[in-house]
């Protein structure tokens, strides 16, 4: 049986301050490995993003190791990532916001990512439990809307995301069945050139916790 409304919430720079996570990783690389290693790892990370369509932090370590087989420190970077305190990087009011939305409809996390690190991030941030395990992780999630409907059927969807590219792609497929909520958090959402290249979302907010006080009747 479907729900009246399902809230589909992105993770990176929507629920978690991923820009802050990235900066912490860069700082760690710079201190522990040096600026050359930091730049090399980040270049590999961007290469993999282009290849796969998502940020593959652990995959970048594997490829980086091919360049530095004689450096025993390289595998240790995985410890930093696996044990990173993501619960400290959720945006203010995230858990209360999820609880509030769950009283109105059904909350579902819909995110891009790999099958190891992204679930780990969602769990350690406390988000997995907050949505009672309703988590969908895809590569290019906008191509899996049929799967979203199959797992979480609903009369209406509300997509909450920091990327207008995703909003435009989903709106094209679902039309009036979806209300798009653009969260202006993170570097994608504040890049004026990127924002200007896509049509606006149905609703724009500056912070995720604004959903706690918004008139949600307009969304659902």
Fold agreement between 3-17+90-218 and 19-82: no
Please say whether the beta carbons of 8 and 159 come within 8 A. Answer: yes
Can you read off the two tokens belonging to residue 199? Answer: 């049509």
Domain spanning 19-82, CATH class: mainly alpha
Say what the pLDDT of residue 73 is: 86
Is the confidence at residue 218, as pLDDT, over 80?
no
Tell me the two tokens of residue 107: 């909350």
What is the C-alpha R_g of the chain? 18
Question: How many Å apart are CA 91 and CA 7, to the nearest integer?
Answer: 18
Q: Please give the CATH number for the structural domain made up of 3-17+90-218.
A: 3.40.50.1000
pLDDT over 80 at 219, yes or no = no
Task: Look up the pTM and report it.
Answer: 0.93
pLDDT tier for residue 72 given thresholds of 50, 70 and 90: confident
What pLDDT score was predicted for residue 125?
A: 98
Q: What are the boundaries of each domain within the chain?
A: 3-17+90-218, 19-82
pLDDT one-digit tens code per residue, 91-126? 999 999 999 999 999 999 999 999 999 999 999 999
Spatial separation of the C-alpha atoms in residues 119 and 110, rounded to whole Å: 11
Taking the C-alpha atoms of residue 122 and residue 111, their distance in angstroms, rounded to an integer, is 10
Q: Please check whether residue 167 is in contact with residue 142, taking contact to mean a CB–CB distance below 8 angstroms.
A: no
Q: What is the pLDDT of residues 37-64, one digit of tens each?
A: 999 999 999 999 999 888 999 999 999 9
């Amino acid at each position: 049986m479907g729900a009246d409304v399902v809230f589909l919430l992105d993770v990176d720079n929507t629920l978690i301050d991923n820009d802050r996570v990235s900066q912490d990783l860069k700082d760690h690389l710079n201190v522990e490995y040096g600026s050359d290693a930091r730049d090399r790892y980040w270049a590999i990370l961007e290469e993999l993003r282009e290849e796969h369509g998502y940020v593959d932090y652990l995959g970048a370590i594997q490829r980086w190791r091919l360049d530095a087989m004689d450096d025993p420190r390289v595998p240790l970077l995985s410890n930093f990532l696996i044990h990173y305190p993501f619960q400290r990087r959720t945006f203010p009011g995230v858990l209360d916001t999820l609880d509030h939305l769950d009283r109105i409809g059904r909350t579902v996390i819909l995110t891009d990512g790999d099958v190891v690190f992204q679930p780990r991030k969602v769990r350690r941030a406390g988000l997995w439990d907050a949505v009672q395990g309703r988590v969908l992780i895809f590569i290019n999630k906008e191509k899996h809307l049929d799967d979203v409907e199959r797992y979480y059927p609903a009369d209406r969807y509300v997509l909450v995301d920091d990327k207008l590219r995703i909003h435009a792609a989903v709106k094209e497929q679902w039309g009036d069945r979806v209300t798009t909520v653009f969260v202006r958090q993170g570097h994608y959402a504040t890049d004026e050139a990127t924002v200007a290249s896509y049509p606006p979302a149905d609703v724009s907010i500056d912070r995720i916790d604004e959903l706690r006080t918004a008139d949600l009747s307009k969304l659902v």
